[in-house]
Amino acid sequence: MRFAIFGNTFQAKKSCHAETLFGILKERNAEVYVCRDFYTFLTADLGMEIPVAGLFDGDDFSADMVISVGGDGTFLKAASRVGKKDIPILGINTGRLGFLADISPEEMEATFEEIYSDHYKVEERSVLQLLSSDRRLQSSPYALNEIAILKRDSSSMITIRTAINGAYLTTYQADGLIIATPTGSTAYSLSVGGPIIVPHSNTIAITPVAPHSLNVRPIVIRDDWEITLDVESRSHNFLVAIDGRSETCKESNQLTIRKADYNIKVVKRFDHIFFDTLRTKMMWGVDGRR
């Protein structure tokens, strides 16, 4: 098999897991290609000797499977590079929670045994696309987790007029608004009171950030509906964060958010169940009185 590997370049103390991964792949005579930044980090900065078939930059690669070594942030970066290539992504978790990157280092040996035995599942996750006249936003307009509209300064709120399929929904007075996929429902959206959504529910969550009204609550809509946003700000600009990649935007730019025309494929072990992940990683439903 041919693998393309991305990795976190900020966690030197966890580099032993990467070394273990390369050892496993070498034993199976895998054809390994590594993102140049990650390779430089492992070899030049950490002094590892990594046998690879080649290096690549950006999205200039092809593979049977992509491996992300790090946390969910690293996985999101890998997903943005994969884009429409239709290559499944396996996430090795060396971070903290790890909803996307949910294979622990201790599971790597068993996981690749299952992969080479063709005993694994691939989940398709929906992606959001941002449409705007701002060229900077169009350079990388796709989000696996969320698109967030946020105030740029720390003083005043922003006003976000929101329409669904052209029909007026409401005008949010808030610090921001998060448009999240089911995959992103356990990320930023959850931290500001958004709902947890099962990954394959074909929905989008709209969650305000610190709204200036007790009557405003998160709402969940179909993912084939289109969201239009008109933003006003005292500073006449605001931030748009696409899976954490932020750009300043002028209030004259109307934003349209819709489901992208492709999905991201996530490799999962058969015994990894979403509800188990909620309970074990988020302590969901745990009664602390016991």
Catalytic residues: 72
Q: What residues form DSSP beta bridges with 157?
A: none
Residue 264 neighbours by CB distance under 10 Å? 28
Residues whose CB is less than 8 angstroms from the CB of residue 13 and which lie 6 or more positions away in sequence, other chains included = none
